Structure 1
Amino acid sequence: MVDLEQYLPILIFLFIAAGLSALFVFLPMGVSRLTGSHAPTAEKLSEYECGFPAFDDSRSQFDVRFYLVAILFLIFDLEAAFLFPWAVSLDFTGWTGWATMVVFLVELVIGFAYAWKVGALEWD
């Protein structure tokens, strides 16, 4: 039978983490309501990320270039996320790690050149 007392510190840690998370989320909202800084206006509630008003119907079509830009961003963001650990551990991975990363970067450059050639980076 497993001794469950060894899991008590983990359980305490989870309760403290959940409590602090709730505190960081709900305390600023409560303070803003109490101090009067929560005053929604038409300007504050306007669109700020996408630049056009929300649709009435969620199934409405819009330009596919939003998806293309998001996918390209994710691809090149992941590239940067892979480059740092690779650069830090290059002395452990040796020539095999270096060759693998060169193949990875060549694939990304080919993908970037293709996206540039087909005009995925153009915004009219």
Structure 2
Amino acid sequence: MVRILDEGGYVRYDFSTADKLLGICEILVEKYGSLINVHEQAKDAKDLEQRLLEFKGIGPVTVNIFLRELRPFWDKADPKVLPIVKKCARRFGIHLDNYRGKSVTFVRIEAGLIRLRKKYHE
């Protein structure tokens, strides 16, 4: 698990983080059977977010990032665009309303704006 985190660029994580992630996975499988079942059992986007927030160590930012990446693929994955993303988009002249929110392009723009925020200390 640590090697996978390292390969994904998550270099500040160690074995304790890997153990926590594995623990979350075990609970998820016990409660839902699979990750896709979390989505299928959720009534709507808000319920999906609440179900994910029930896992120890998973907070609103993590849920937002996770669901942002799944937005094009899961009907109920529809987290709000973070205010900092909107601010960065304005700063760089990007009109987010020109893009379909459930598209892969929109998700990539959103993630890119987060990285730009870090680079420019927005």
TM-score of the superposed pair, with normalisation by structure 2: 0.23
Larger Rg: 1
TM-score of the superposed pair, with normalisation by structure 1: 0.22
